[in-house]
Amino acid sequence: MTDPPRAYHLGLIGYPLEHSLSPKLHNAALRALGLAGEYRLYPVPSTGAGERELRALLEQMRAGEIHGLNVTIPHKRAVIPLLDELTPTAQAIAAVNTIIPRGGKLIGDNTDAPGFLADLYRAFPSLRPAHPVASPKLQAEGADLPHAFILGAGGSARAVVYALLQDGWQLTIAARRPAQARSLVKDLAPYARRASVIRPATFDFRPAACDLIVNCTPLGMSPNVEASPWPEDVPFPQGAAVYDLVYNPRETRLVAAARAAGLPAVTGLGMLIEQAALAFEHWVGQYPPGVHFTPDP
């Protein structure tokens, strides 16, 4: 087994990164465990010299100079051809948010999916499906499964859709580009469990009823805090919970509007913490204290 480094060099690749909270989370985790090191931001654009910078960072990782990297927009899918292997979760989602050096290879994983599911059920425990996954009896009877309405069809949406399909949800995917929603449905439908249903829709479609609305678009993210993916003149479905993956600002316009309408609503700050803890454990071999994550069976 390789000896741990004297100091951990970790970081986040993406663009832009000015408002990322990841350094605070990971640096606090290092300090809590008494480990030397630093988590840095690596702003790498997708144009110009961005590809060369991305390759250079991965070479530093291969050389043992960087011990762990997170990946965010716009590189979650673009980084895949530069890696040696993918975990089954990352392969299914076709998006990577965590890179792990192992035995001279770079392994791509996606901790967004389990991180989202853990925080979803922490925030809204009543939404957890009551029946065991993959029950043949339920499939035969066509049981009444929870229904989620997903806004967006990018890398974050793929992680959310994969997680919910694995837990037996019915899903409707709405995107500004219908072809992108259809592509997501085609790619991820084979991973559905139980009697799950996944179908695309246009972005201006609004459900008459659903249990959960998940915003997987960047609309409302700082500094564009006045934006929202939900039109002001369209009422929310009664009884739905709202989960906004955007976590900066602490209360997005979507979350504020949902709460004003009497709906339970949260941002993605909890998901950020959960996925970060899982990535940190991959790199350091220890789970950061103070974070409680219980994966589904």
Q: Which amino acid is at 125?
A: P
C-alpha 216/C-alpha 63 separation (Å) is 35
C-alpha 9/C-alpha 64 separation (Å) is 9
Which residues, listed in sequence order, are joined to residue 40 by a DSSP beta bridge? Answer: 11
C-alpha radius of gyration, the chain, whole number = 19
Crossing angle, helix 155-166 and helix 112-123, to 10 degrees? 60
C-alpha 171/C-alpha 233 separation (Å) is 24
C-alpha 57/C-alpha 72 separation (Å) is 14
C-alpha 36/C-alpha 241 separation (Å) is 41
Block residue for tokens 């425990």: 125
Which residue intervals of 124-177 are DSSP H helices?
Answer: 136-141, 155-166
Instruction: Name the strand (E) or helix (H) holding 173.
Output: strand 170-175
C-alpha 14/C-alpha 2 separation (Å) is 29
In the residue annotation, 137 being an active-site residue is answered as: no
C-alpha 8/C-alpha 271 separation (Å) is 23
Q: Which amino acid is at 268?
A: G
The dihedrals phi and psi of 55, each to the nearest 5 degrees, come to -60, -40
Mind telling me the catalytic residues?
76
